[in-house]
Amino acid sequence: MRVLSSVLCPASTKRPGLPALFCWLGMMSTASTAMAQDPRELDEFRYTSPAAALHAGDFDAVRQLLEAKIEQGTHAPNDLFLMGLTEKRAGNHPRAIDYFQRLLELEPDSPRVRLEMAESLYALGRYQLAENELKTVLAGNPPETVSRRIESYLAAIEQRLDVWSFSLSAGGFYDSNVNAGPDTDTVYIGNLPFVLNNAAQGNGDWAADLGMTVGYNRSLNQQTSLRGGASLNYTDYADLDDYDALVGSAWFGPGFNLGRLYVYLPAVTSVVRLGHEESYYQTSIGISPQVGYQINREWSASGRLTWQDVNYKRSNNPDSTQARLDASIRYAPNRSLAAGAGLYIGRESSETDTRSNKRLGARAFADYTIDSVWSTSLSADYSRIAYDGIQPMSGTERVDRKTQLSASLYRALPQWNARLDIGLNHTDQRSTIELYEYDRQILNTRIIKKF
């Protein structure tokens, strides 16, 4: 088996990535050839055995042994496979694809041939065709280790494709506390009781939610791409019109695929209109560099730094500058399960001291795919927000502690290329100032349709 492995996986290809992915399949095709010989006799007979010649890296010898047979039509199917491997390793990918395609006419259900051909297609920059072949193999339920690598490689191909994507979403939700108000009519500020009117207390309402997203990804070469997108979301409350929101955002920047390391450097901007009749606007512009690193098959790490300048129009809210650093780690032992955790720190600097704050938070999540139709996710977030200065009236510093728990259930609707989402979110905020304490639950459902 040592000889068989080296035939299909020479030292130059034993590295992470697609080449290693194909080592398992080649063994099936050359086992009868390589194992029929005593490894000690390979040197003597290496030029009479195509597999041994391939193992020796003598591509001309393989051609001499097989080309005539193929031209005369006296070849076996495995001869086409060995010639395809030879041309691929020699860098003659168009010829390799030709041999693999001829073999697929004889063995259309052969995963090993499709995988080898996918590598040659990728080397020629024919990413869409390579993706099609990989998805065909993945649909045949190959071994789990192979499936994981195919999926990671499909993700890499997606980053290289020149793809426009478009989706629409529509749904609704119930928000138990739209204005994040306390659940009591009396609060104490500076040891003095204050009676709140109905508008200042927590109010619930139903809302409709509509959205659209456009994405773009253009490959410049095998390492560099341009990625961008824009989204528009509208939330319309049934009664509390002051909380209606129209949110538009956009992002664009270069991405760099550097082996296990991926770097994305987008500029980001957003415009938010709040309110219905007497509306005001919040605008922001900034940068959000991101980095991801694949530690091994199961573990990956990522980080993001976001900086943005926030301005308000037709509002008394002071302008501010916001910065936030996120870091997380993810564990995916198989295709069905993924879990992770992360930390973040942030700073908001406002023209008003009592609006400036420091943030520290942590997050944990788990995603589970039940079957080809159903999947679910759970997440838990905790944050501590400490405001600068002494708050007016209360005479104390304000520190908020917020806990959020979320659960979602997803159902794929493949006949419509869509997905149904059902989610429940619970928020509990405690504060050193009673006025800012509240509980909130949101139950939502939506359908997302991709085009």
Give domain 2-160's CATH architecture.
Answer: Alpha Horseshoe (1.25)
- Measured distance CA(27)–CA(10) in Å, rounded: 13
Q: Which of 90, 88, 94 is nearest to 26 (CA)?
A: 88
- Structural contact between residues 237 and 244, judged by C-beta atoms closer than 8 angstroms: yes
| Cα-based distances in Å from 273 to 175, 244, 280 | 19, 8, 6
Q: Where are the domains of the chain?
A: 2-160, 163-450
Q: List beta partners, residue 174.
A: 206, 443
Q: Which pLDDT score is estimated for 160?
A: 67
Q: Which CATH class is domain 163-450?
A: mainly beta
- Measured distance CA(150)–CA(119) in Å, rounded: 11
- pTM beyond 0.85: the answer is no
Extract the tokens encoding 229. Answer: 């997108």
Which secondary structure element, helix H or strand E, spans residue 130, and what is its range? Answer: helix 127-139
Q: Which pLDDT score is estimated for 30?
A: 43
Per-residue pLDDT of the chain (451 residues; tens, 9 = 90+): 333 333 344 444 444 444 444 444 444 444 334 333 433 333 434 456 888 888 888 888 889 888 888 888 888 888 899 999 999 999 888 889 989 989 998 888 888 899 899 888 888 877 878 888 888 888 888 888 888 878 877 877 776 666 788 999 999 999 999 999 888 888 777 677 878 888 888 899 999 999 999 999 887 876 888 999 999 999 999 999 999 999 999 999 999 988 789 999 999 999 999 987 778 999 999 999 999 998 987 899 999 999 999 999 988 889 999 999 999 999 998 878 999 999 999 999 998 888 899 999 999 999 999 987 899 999 999 999 999 988 887 788 999 999 999 999 999 998 888 999 999 999 999 999 888 999 999 999 999 998 8
Q: What is the DSSP letter of 93?
A: H
Q: Which pLDDT score is estimated for 127?
A: 80
Q: Which pLDDT score is estimated for 378?
A: 98
Q: Which of 79, 86, 95, 97 is nearest to 57 (CA)?
A: 86
Q: Which of 352, 265, 281, 350 is nearest to 309 (CA)?
A: 350
Instruction: Return phi, psi of residue 195, to 5°.
Output: -90, 125
Look at the block and give the residue holding tokens 């939506």.
446
**How much helix, strand and coil, in percent to the nearest 5, is found in the chain?**
30, 45, 25
Q: How far does CA 447 lie from the centroid of its chain? A: 20
Q: Which pLDDT score is estimated for 20?
A: 44
Extract the tokens encoding 260. Answer: 């296990």
